[in-house]
Structure 1
């Protein structure tokens, strides 16, 4: 390998390499794309219920106390009028004005003495109502928090958390009915996904045996010196078709395996994995006259070494097979993103190639999906292309199984830039 001048650690491999990494992405790759920002948080249901309960108690208490106050004042005034009535039978000098004045003063004193206690009682009742309402709201909403946590756990890892259940017990109210409905939905989804994985695995295993037998029979026929030229050509065509079917089955098996979280995790250097994968692709790159250029920084991540190597291999092979041909290039870069993306290592694979419409990028990660031309037509298949349309699907499944992220975007001028973030060991 030839050391590229001016860029430490950057090497060019393959014919026609210019020895420089495209500056449109080199050195300016940020942290993993953040999830869609959540809406601005507002008052929780618990706080709203507490405020509503406290306000209802306060207003009700205020109305009742004010009504009682009015009735009490009216009664005092009525009693004062009765007492102030002069005894006409005795013929005494009327004392109505003086008695009424004295009674009014007494009534005001009595009312002023009960106003403050009534206000204190009202405020204390409101505070107690708020506290009781907060506790009751928390008690009533506890099942809802359980439902939310389960839904969030399933949403974060839908391929492996479908076995989670709420199992809410208690009176058959609306929340219990909601939890049971949610559990039933998870049961159906879990059975559907498990059945799909089981079918893919079983079907792939069952198909490997007859394909292996077909390959053996074809190879034996090709070695037969008495076989005619027409028979040999037919056998070679059938052998190529059989080989493609075997690769597709291997890809389906790997895709089914990639959905399961790796159990044998170890520290893997992305730079070493990328270098090894690029080296294995040198022969294909030479045949296509495409340069493989690398800029590799040590970046240790945690995961299954075989599956992580499959990520790099699939990305490089995909970049080679969807290229412009002679004079094209594939850039492979690794970064230790411990500074601006703590806990992640970064692998980048970019290439020259046909223009990819932005709307078609996400669909490239679907199984058996190939690129489209800008007009929307399906991309033409290269006769040398050995792929079966599962490369990027396997990449996404393996990355998700490792708790990482993968993102792709069209490269200006044609081609694709794929970035993979993988977490380091916790």
Structure 2
């Protein structure tokens, strides 16, 4: 009798626990739907299901907002960009008008970057469910190639050994991690003889991406703040030409969505070391 009673009590608890674990894995559509008599356990399960209904509706509302914002914000900015580019292509435009057009085009480009960054940040808050094998070394190499021209213009050397290592994840989002880290490392560098080192390596059960650079001295107490949206070093202005202040926020969100970790530490003499660890 005692075993039967224990089974009667523990079986619903096990069902509640399993459902909670699935929900923790980002499956908000799961419900307990516990049958049986109207006792305390069924009341607990029903309350849990009601909470999941509210959470599911809230997340669905957020997803719809992101989709709508994507269209509503991108479209006018794209129209502005086209109009400005047409105006700049007019050979009869006065130098003053041409300069104004270039200034407005740069401002519009920053707005587009801000919108894209905010939308990506919103999307990456959720777990990545549809994962595929991605070569982290290839992703890092693409980021280096895309940044090479900017690095050359700033006199920054790009270097590092990248060993092949596969991770499970979303290729587009993983590319964003590498690109944002490399771009940041190039832009926040020293005026002369600077370098950025990009390394990938396999480790037991995980893959590691390390981006290190020369650069300004970063106080240890400011490191964590760099991952907050719109936060930079105290010496940097919000309106600087180094981005919109979302790069590292996006990186951290995407890393967390892949069940990974990112750590940052100042280099002795200036610069930073960013270390991303992703499960394999």
Give the TM-score category using the shorter length: 0.7 to 0.9
In the TM superposition, what whole-angstrom CA distance separates every residue of 1:210-242 from its partner, at most 9, and x where no partner exists? 111111211222222332332222211111111
Specify whether residues 359 and 179 from structure 1 end up closer, same or farther in structure 2 by C-alpha distance, changes over 3 A only. farther
Q: Which residue is equivalent to 1:46?
A: none
Quick one: which of 136, 149, 160 aligns to 1:270? Answer: 136
Q: Which residue is equivalent to 2:43?
A: 177
Q: Which residue is equivalent to 1:408?
A: 263
Specify whether residues 171 and 415 from structure 1 end up closer, same or farther in structure 2 by C-alpha distance, changes over 3 A only. farther
1:142 matched to 2:11: yes
In the TM superposition, what whole-angstrom CA distance separates every residue of 1:286-329 from its partner, at most 9, and x where no partner exists? 23333322121121223343332222111111222233443333
Question: Does the 8 A contact of 1:214 with 1:242 survive in 2?
Answer: yes
Displacement of 1:333 in angstroms is 0.8
1:190 matched to 2:43: no
SS of residue paired to 2:161: strand
Question: Does the 8 A contact of 2:223 with 2:266 survive in 1?
Answer: no
Report how many aligned residue pairs link the two structures.
277
Q: Distance in 1 between matches of 2:171 and 2:85?
A: 34
In the TM superposition, what whole-angstrom CA distance separates every residue of 1:94-114 from its partner, at most 9, and x where no partner exists? xxxxxxxxxxxxxxxxxxxxx
Specify whether residues 138 and 251 from structure 1 end up closer, same or farther in structure 2 by C-alpha distance, changes over 3 A only. same
Query: Which stretch of structure 1 is more off in the superposition, 132-141 or 236-245?
Result: 132-141
Q: Which residue is equivalent to 2:27?
A: 161
Question: Does the 8 A contact of 1:406 with 1:418 survive in 2?
Answer: no
- Residue ranges of structure 1 left out of the alignment (5+ in a row): 1-131
The structure number with the bigger radius of gyration is 1
Q: Which residue is equivalent to 1:261?
A: 128
In the TM superposition, what whole-angstrom CA distance separates every residue of 1:53-81 from its partner, at most 9, and x where no partner exists? xxxxxxxxxxxxxxxxxxxxxxxxxxxxx
Displacement of 1:256 in angstroms is 4.6
Quick one: which of 208, 211, 218 aligns to 1:355? Answer: 218
Specify whether residues 360 and 163 from structure 1 end up closer, same or farther in structure 2 by C-alpha distance, changes over 3 A only. farther
Question: Does the 8 A contact of 2:131 with 2:168 survive in 1?
Answer: no
Q: Distance in 2 between matches of 1:356 and 1:146?
A: 49
Question: Does the 8 A contact of 1:204 with 1:252 survive in 2?
Answer: no
SS of residue paired to 1:166: coil
SS of residue paired to 2:35: coil
Question: Does the 8 A contact of 2:66 with 2:122 survive in 1?
Answer: yes
Q: Which residue is equivalent to 1:383?
A: 240
Q: Distance in 1 between matches of 2:219 and 2:68?
A: 35
Q: Distance in 1 between matches of 2:151 and 2:198?
A: 13
Question: Does the 8 A contact of 2:267 with 2:273 survive in 1?
Answer: no
Matches within 5 A, 1:192-271: 192-258=58-124, 259=126, 261=128, 263=130, 265-266=132-133, 268-271=134-137
Q: Distance in 2 between matches of 1:262 and 1:181?
A: 26
> What TM-score, normalized by structure 1, do the two folds share?
0.58
Specify whether residues 154 and 326 from structure 1 end up closer, same or farther in structure 2 by C-alpha distance, changes over 3 A only. farther
Question: Does the 8 A contact of 2:230 with 2:244 survive in 1?
Answer: no
> What TM-score, normalized by structure 2, do the two folds share?
0.85
Q: Distance in 2 between matches of 1:149 and 1:179?
A: 12
Question: Does the 8 A contact of 2:238 with 2:245 survive in 1?
Answer: no
1:315 matched to 2:181: yes
